[in-house]
Chains A and B, each alone.
Chain A
Amino acid sequence: MEKTNAEIQKNWNLESLEDGRMVLNVGPSHPAMHGIVRVLLTVQGERVMDSDVEIGYLHRGFEKTCENVTYNQCVPYTDRLNYVSPFINNVGYALAVEKLMGIETPARCQYIRVIMSELSRLTDHLTCIGANAMELAAFTVYFYLINAREELYRLTDAVAGGRVTPAYTRVGGLTRDLPADFRQMTAEVFKKVRKNLSDADKLLTRNRIFYDRLHNIGNISKEDAISLSFTGPALRSTGVPLDLRKASPYLVYDRFDFDIPVGSNGDNYDRYLVRMEEMKQSMRIVEQALAQLPDGPINHPDFNVILPPKEEVSGNIEALMAHFKLTIEGVKPPKGEVYQAVEAGNGELGFYIVSDGTGHPWRLRVRPPCFSLTGGLSQMIKGGYIADIVSTFGQINMIGGELER
């Protein structure tokens, strides 16, 4: 079949390819790429000369949808942004609306949100490293890590009633409290996660093949990473110690003792090491939070913010009215705009909300962390081998749900 110029992406044309370069299409559906993304490569032999990353296959109009539903109805949609760490999205969204309303949730709620966010960070990193190892042929490690993730999913399922789509937060609180034996369950799960992590660590970290596939691959300099708006492990691997949990602590992160691992090379191996260490730090945070966990209510006391308890609704006219108004019209933040960012598994997850004073957001924008990271993919794979795209792409940890919303 003869190809015309119009069918090839505008960065290329047949005339410029006569020096032996070739256009190679990877994706949109490719066994070594998790998520659906198309990378159009110009290669010379095995070397990537230029590339064009094409996204949008999972675009479902999240922002448009949210403009047409009430604030609390947006919560289940936020689950589906980053579906391997749904709690962080829930928490980030709830914090943004609460900032808009100028309210703060009770201490117990804040601790539970921290605990669930850190459990989500664990599942996120476990998936990332597990899938990355699998794509580089370390299939055993995948099972070790995914088994650990499964234990965590069961734990969060016991709390929120959902493995992947928990919709756990509400504006001003949570859907339910922790189960009674949560401390003991967490201790048991962490024992297993630690064991699987140390097994994976022994299999991967000093493994010659794995090291060679990651070390000095997908390098990015500190300046380039900042210019490309990188955040999260990808930025920290270049040596910039920026973590929102430390830089501008939200919730109660300032009460815990934890470290921010940073790399020095900005390559895939450093990103792998940063993620491995962050998982240990996350478990430290959860254990400290469980030790400090205060008793008390989990929801904001104001009935105009969150649904009153059922017994109040049945026996008290104010609660009944509040229940009706919240269900029909939704929470009504004052006019204004806020930007609230939280540290998600991949970096800064920001919510920009504009309120016009009604029950629906006028504008809800999500700043997904992996949007910038995927935008920088071209630069990271340039000059490398085709086979190394797999390891770089895996360490970018592109999540279609939040990338394309």
Chain B
Amino acid sequence: MTSYLLETFKAKFPDDVLETHAFRGDETVLLRKEALLKAAAFLKDNLGFDFLMDLTAADYLPREPRFELVCHFYSSKHNYRLRLKCPVAAADARVDSLTPLWAGANWFEREAFDMYGIKFDGHPDLRRILLYDGFEGHPLRKDYPLKKRQPRIPHRE
């Protein structure tokens, strides 16, 4: 299946797009993480995708590269959605932050960092958001046991 959007993407970033597909009408572009920021800027400035609806990650242990960063974009002008995914290796779990383009990326990225331990370069304030400082591990990783207990945190005066 070909679509105008996916073809445009492939033509614009021939070296960076790893794969494109459309499953159940959801168009997806898989691209190298180094190209994420410029691809997102292209989406925002040239293709009219004004909303960063969601940003999250997924863990595909034991596959390598292990993580995938998943962004959902929405264009209110064209009423169109696009999913952008970047494989992220466990050894180098760093991605460029989208905060320069969308202020809303701030909390989404903090949550992805909190849950998966993926670091975002250029994020203004990367710290845990749902869990507390001193929490050990990243709970949504597949190797985090479901019933793992956390150490007691020392009492603070």
Interface residues of A (CB under 8 A from B): 1, 7, 10-11, 55-56, 59, 61, 63-64, 68, 99-100, 102, 224, 226-231, 240, 242, 247-248, 336-339, 341, 348, 350, 352, 354, 362-363, 365, 367, 371-372, 374-376, 379, 404-405
Number of A-B contacts (CB under 8 A): 97
* Contact, CB under 8 Å: A336 / B140: no
Instruction: Give 1 or 0 for each of B105-128: 1 = CB within 8 Å of chain A CB.
Output: 011100100010000000001011
Query: Are B146 and A56 interface neighbours, CB within 8 A?
Result: no
Chain A residues whose C-beta falls within 8 Å of the C-beta of B106 in the assembled complex? 375
* Docked-complex contact B56 and A229, CB < 8 angstroms: no
Give Cα A310 to B28, complex, Å: 41
Complex contacts, A363 vs chain B, CB 8 Å: 58-59
Q: For residue B123, give the distance in angstroms from its CB to the closest CB of chain A.
A: 13
CA distance in complex: A371, B111 (Å): 10
> In the complex the two chains form, is A7's CB within 8 Å of B156's CB?
yes
The interface on chain B, measured as residues whose beta carbon lies within 8 A of the other chain's beta carbons, has a size of 39
CA distance A270 to B70 in the complex (A): 34
**Pairs A–B under 8 Å by Cβ, sample size 18:** A10-B125, A56-B130, A59-B131, A64-B146, A224-B103, A229-B51, A229-B102, A229-B104, A231-B53, A336-B24, A338-B23, A339-B26, A352-B70, A352-B72, A362-B58, A365-B70, A367-B56, A405-B130
Is there an interface contact between B79 and A375, defined as CB atoms closer than 8 Å?
Answer: no
A376 CA / B52 CA spacing, docked (Å): 14
Quick one: closest B residue to A230, CB to CB? B104
Closest partner residue, chain B, to A53 (CB atom): B107
Residues of A within 8 A of B115 (CB): 63
Residues 56-77 of B, flagged 1 when their CB comes within 8 A of A and 0 if not, give 1011000000000010100010
List B contacts of A227 (CB < 8 A): 102-104
Q: Shortest beta-carbon distance, A244 to chain B, in Å?
A: 10
- In the docked arrangement, what's the CA distance between A56 and B127, Å? 13
B54 interface contact, C-beta 8 A? yes
What residues of A have a CB within 8 angstroms of the CB of B28 in the complex? 337
CA distance A38 to B50 in the complex (A): 30
Q: Is residue B81 within 8 Å, beta carbon to beta carbon, of the partner chain? A: yes
Given A336-B23, A375-B104, A229 and B53 touching (CB < 8 A)?
Answer: yes
Cα(A3)–Cα(B129), bound, Å: 23
Residues 126-151 of B contacting A (Cβ, < 8 Å) = 127-132, 139-140, 144, 146
- Say whether, besides A56-B130, A242-B76, A365 and B24 are in contact (CB < 8 Å): no
CB of B53 within 8 A of CB of A376, answer no
Please give me the residue from chain A that is nearest to B60 by CB atom.
Answer: A362
B83 at the interface (CB under 8 A from A): yes
Cross-chain contact A228 with B104 (CB below 8 angstroms): yes
Cα of A231 to Cα of B106 in the assembled complex, Å: 16
Q: Please state if B104 and A61 are interface contacts (CB–CB under 8 Å).
A: no
On whether the beta carbons of A339 and B79 are closer than 8 Å, the reply is: no
Whether the pair A61, B56 counts as a contact (CB closer than 8 A) is no
Known: A352-B72, A365-B56. A55 touches B129 (CB 8 A): yes
Nearest Cβ in chain B — how far from A220, in angstroms? 11
Q: B83–A339 contact, CB under 8 A?
A: yes
Is B52 in contact with A229, judged by CB distance below 8 angstroms? yes
Q: Are A64 and B103 interface neighbours, CB within 8 A? A: no
Min CB distance B76 to A, Å, is 5
